[in-house]
Amino acid sequence: MASKAAPTRQQKHLAVLIDADNAPAAIVEGLFEEIAKYGIASVKRIYGDWTSPQLGGWKKTLLDYSIQPMQQFAYTTGKNATDSSLIIDAMDLLYTGRFDGFCLVSSDSDFTRLAVRLREEGLTVYGFGEQKTPKPFVSACDKFIYTEILRAETEATKTQAAFNIPEREESPIPAGTKVVTPPPPKPVKQKTPVALITKAIEDISDEDGWSHLGALGQNITKLQSDFDVRLYGYSKLSDLIRHYSAQFELEERGATATGGKSLYVRNRKSK
C-alpha cells in the first residue's frame, strides 16, 4: 500500500528575533501585524541587557506580545554582545529544521552575513529596520520592511479610533466651537521606481506583454528587497499601477476561486 503524503503546511512557521538595542518598542504592534501577513510567529525572542534602563519601553510590551526576553550582559564597553547571542540562537533554531523563515528585527548591518547564511539553507528572511539601515543588510534579506511605515500605520489607526466619537443628538457641539483634529502621521514617501516596475513586467510578461499582478509584485521584490508600495503613498500595488495609467495598463480577467478577479498589467509601449 502506498504511503500517504505528508500534509502540506498552510502557513510558514517563522522565528522572530529582535535586537532590542537597535529597534524601538514603538514598532511592536505594527511589527506583529506585518509578520502575520507572512506566517505564524512560532518563536518570539528579544535580545538585550535587561538591567539597562534604556530598554524600559520594551519591558512594558513583552508580556502583551508573549516575547521571550534573552538576557545578554554587556561584558565590554563598545562591544555588542547582543548581536553574538542573537546569531548563535538563530543558528541553533536553523538546525532544528522546524522553521520556514526568520524575521530579523534590527537596523544593524552586523546581521548581513546571518541573513545570507539563512537564505543559503533555503529559508526566507524578512528584515525589519529603520530607513537608515545599511544597504548590504537590506539586500541580504528576501524582503525588507522599514519600521517607519509600521509606526505610521499604527499611529494613524490609534488617531482614528481616538477621534471616532459617535454623534449624540442630546448633546450637540455648541455653535462656534472649534473642533481640532490632529493631522495623521506623515507617510514615508519616496519617488516611485517606474523604471524598476517597467523592467519587472518585461522580465515575466507573455508574448502579448501581459504579466499577472501577483507575480509582478514577487518579481519586483526579488529585484529590490525593500520595495513597498506604502513608501510611495499607496496601500496596494494595483493602486500604484492605476495612478500611472500613462505608463501601465491594468486589465481584469475571469473570476478566481475566491470569487474575485485576476489582475494583469503590461507596459503601454508593448501594445
Which pLDDT belongs to residue 258?
66
The whole-number average pLDDT for the span 115-122 is 98
Same-domain check for residues 52 and 135:
yes
Same-domain check for residues 265 and 146:
no
Domain final residue, candidates 151, 183, 209: 151
How far apart, in whole angstroms, are the C-alpha atoms of residue 101 and residue 123?
5
Asked if the structure places residue 245 within a domain, the reply is yes
The whole-number average pLDDT for the span 157-182 is 49
Residue keyed to cell 500517504: 4
User: Strands (DSSP E) along 131-269, which ranges?
Assistant: 143-146, 211-212, 248-255, 261-267
The whole-number average pLDDT for the span 6-15 is 75
Total domains in the fold of the chain: 2
Asked if the structure places residue 163 within a domain, the reply is no
The whole-number average pLDDT for the span 136-165 is 78
Same-domain check for residues 219 and 113:
no
Half-sphere exposure for 49 (CA within 13 Å, toward CB): 12
pLDDT band with cut points at 50, 70 and 90 for residue 259: low
pLDDT of 146 higher than 50 = yes
pLDDT band with cut points at 50, 70 and 90 for residue 181: very low
pLDDT of 214 higher than 50 = yes
pLDDT band with cut points at 50, 70 and 90 for residue 190: confident
Beta-carbon contacts of 139 under 8 Å, excluding residues fewer than 6 positions away, are 225
- DSSP letters along 82-108, please? HHHHHHHHHHHHHTTT--SEEEEE-S-
Asked if the structure places residue 67 within a domain, the reply is yes
Same-domain check for residues 115 and 218:
no
Same-domain check for residues 137 and 29:
yes
Asked if the structure places residue 1 within a domain, the reply is no
Same-domain check for residues 56 and 126:
yes
Cell of 214: 501577483
Which pLDDT belongs to residue 179?
43
Domain final residue, candidates 99, 121, 151: 151
Asked if the structure places residue 5 within a domain, the reply is no
Same-domain check for residues 19 and 104:
yes
Which pLDDT belongs to residue 75?
58
Mean pLDDT, the chain, whole residue set:
84
Domain final residue, candidates 151, 185, 205: 151
Residue keyed to cell 563598545: 78
Same-domain check for residues 146 and 203:
no
pLDDT digits (tens, 9 = 90+) for 73-109: 765 544 467 788 999 999 999 999 999 999 999 999 9
Asked if the structure places residue 41 within a domain, the reply is yes
CATH number at residue 23: 3.40.50.1010
Give the residue from 218, 228, 173, 216 showing the smallest Cα distance to 30: 228
* DSSP state, residue 226: T
Asked if the structure places residue 186 within a domain, the reply is no
pLDDT digits (tens, 9 = 90+) for 37-80: 999 999 999 999 888 888 889 998 999 999 999 988 765 544 46
The whole-number average pLDDT for the span 221-241 is 94
Same-domain check for residues 133 and 220:
no
For residue 240, what is the enclosing H or E element? helix 237-243
Domain that holds residue 57: 12-151
The residue with greater pLDDT, 144 or 257, is 144
